[in-house]
């Protein structure tokens, strides 16, 4: 562990401040501006679609410019897109809001590589703990994101425009912090520096399971999380209640980061991922039991902890599947699958919660949970045969 890793953890926290605030307000601003109710989460969907569309470009800029310059470019995009979101809220322009969050997706794709960069800043024996620690930085977002949305939503006349302006300041702060981080230099290019073809990398069973569990685990979490503010509003709960639920959800997502790496080292990656799967199932059971604050709060907290175990585990699995010279193409493929799944879940959450309700949304999430379980069992059986 070193100073650069702790600074990257702070950057992760500022990134999650942006993400949590976006999740808390984009659906509500979208609902107030959208021509039709089912279109409310299109700004949320645009954010992850932008991330999916940017994964190839991000991989190229990471390879050519290096970690630091590429991350700074992502933060510049975050700054400009937040200012554009604020103007969309003031001018009541729904499609401008969607366009601005689409552009912000480049930052999302960029900052999602912080967890992989963490592994490069630590000694090989500490990689799992480094990834886990940087993810734990999301606790900053858990505390500041909902409070930022709550305190700045009426800062100017247009609802939540002040929150978007505040996020531009968060991006500036992250640019300052990133300035003091030194990443390993970009390796010199040579005739064999690209390593294996991507098609060969993605056919590995461990890569398949890492990609499947990472994408579907994130998708289930996003499906339920993006719909929560809308579902709570539909059932008469105040925005302050929704902010509290999101705060504890994000605490659940990132507080385990301080010990998930230790658990993986002690009990094994698949065991901890299996525990995350059980927590996801428990979330759904609680969510189906009622629509009061006492159901939303524990359900979303367990969803967050389950996501942490699954996502940290899938990242740890992925690190085993590629060589250093193959990291940009492999990480780009992993991020694309995550963002593509998030795009589907973001759109589905808005459509289902506004047309079919919170309960059907939870029943629908059982399918990806079952697929995650099947993929973990498949890899476990392959590992047992190999012993």
Work out the average pLDDT over 72-97. 95
Which secondary-structure segment (H or E) carries 311?
A: helix 293-319
Go through 156-190 and write b for each residue having 16 or more CB atoms within 10 A of its CB, e for each that does not. Answer: bebbbbbbbbbbbebbeebbebbeebebeebeeee
Tens of pLDDT, residue by residue over 282-339, are: 999 999 999 899 999 999 999 999 999 999 999 999 999 999 889 889 988 998 898 8
Angle at the Cα of 366 (from 360 to 371), degrees rounded to 5? 150
pLDDT band at 116 (very low <50, low <70, confident <90, very high): confident
Residue 70 has pLDDT above 80, yes or no: yes
CB 376 within 8 A of CB 89: no
Closest by CA to 68, choosing from 208, 216, 174, 190, is 174
Range name among 50-64, 265-279, 361-375 with the lowest pLDDT average: 50-64
pLDDT band at 187 (very low <50, low <70, confident <90, very high): low
Tokens encoding 71:
């991350």
CA distance 142 to 8: 17
Can you give the pLDDT at residue 192? Answer: 53
Tens of pLDDT, residue by residue over 235-292, are: 888 878 988 898 899 889 888 888 888 899 899 999 999 999 999 999 999 999 998 9
CB 149 within 8 A of CB 24: yes
Place of tokens 């003091």: 180
CB 116 within 8 A of CB 331: yes
Specify the pTM: 0.76
Work out the average pLDDT over 49-56. 88
CA 194 to mean position of chain CA atoms: 28
Tens of pLDDT, residue by residue over 192-233, are: 567 899 999 999 999 999 999 999 999 999 889 878 888 888
CA distance 111 to 114: 5
> Helix H segments across 66-160?
67-91, 94-111, 114-120, 127-136, 138-152
Tokens encoding 325:
């010279």
Q: Which domains does the chain have, with CATH numbers?
A: 3-181+198-386 (1.20.1250.20)
pLDDT band at 190 (very low <50, low <70, confident <90, very high): low
Q: Which residue would you say has higher pLDDT here, 302 or 144?
A: 302
pLDDT band at 1 (very low <50, low <70, confident <90, very high): low
Phi-psi region at 317: left, alpha or beta (left = phi > 0; alpha = psi -120 to 50): alpha
Closest by CA to 10, choosing from 165, 148, 133, is 133
Can you give the pLDDT at residue 191? Answer: 52
């Amino acid at each position: 562990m070193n100073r650069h890793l702790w600074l990257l953890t702070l950057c992760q926290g500022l990134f999650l401040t942006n993400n949590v605030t976006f999740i808390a307000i984009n659906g509500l601003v979208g609902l107030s501006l959208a021509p039709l109710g089912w279109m409310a989460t299109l700004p949320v969907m645009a954010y992850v679609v932008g991330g999916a569309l940017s994964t190839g470009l991000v991989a190229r800029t990471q390879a050519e410019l290096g970690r630091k310059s590429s991350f700074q470019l992502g933060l510049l995009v975050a700054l400009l897109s937040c200012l554009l979101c604020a103007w969309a809220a003031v001018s009541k322009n729904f499609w401008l809001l969607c366009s601005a969050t689409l552009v912000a997706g480049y930052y999302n794709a960029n900052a999602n590589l912080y967890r992989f960069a963490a592994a490069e800043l630590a000694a090989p024996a500490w990689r799992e703990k480094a990834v886990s620690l940087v993810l734990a930085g999301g606790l900053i977002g858990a505390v500041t994101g909902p409070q930022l949305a709550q305190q700045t939503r009426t800062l100017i006349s247009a609802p939540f425009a002040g929150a978007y302006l505040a996020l531009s300041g968060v991006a500036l702060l992250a640019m300052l912090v990133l300035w003091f981080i030194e990443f390993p230099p970009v390796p010199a290019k040579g005739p064999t520096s690209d390593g294996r073809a991507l098609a060969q990398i993605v056919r590995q069973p461990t890569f398949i399971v890492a990609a499947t569990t990472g994408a579907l685990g994130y998708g289930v979490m996003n499906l339920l999380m993006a719909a929560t503010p809308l579902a709570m509003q539909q059932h008469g709960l105040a925005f302050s209640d929704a902010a509290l639920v999101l705060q504890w959800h994000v605490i659940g997502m990132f507080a385990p980061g301080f010990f998930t790496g230790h658990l993986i080292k002690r009990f094994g990656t698949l065991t901890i991922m299996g525990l995350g799967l059980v927590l996801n199932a428990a979330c759904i059971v609680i969510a189906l039991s009622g629509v009061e604050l006492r159901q939303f709060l524990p359900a979303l907290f367990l969803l967050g902890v389950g996501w942490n175990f699954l996502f940290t585990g899938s990242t740890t699995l992925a690190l085993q599947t590629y060589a250093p010279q193959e990291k940009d193409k492999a990480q780009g493929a992993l991020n694309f699958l995550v963002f593509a799944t998030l795009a589907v879940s973001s759109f589905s959450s808005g459509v289902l919660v506004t047309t079919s309700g919170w309960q059907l949304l939870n029943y629908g999430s059982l399918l990806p949970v079952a697929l995650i379980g099947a993929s973990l069992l498949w890899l476990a059986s392959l590992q047992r045969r190999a012993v």
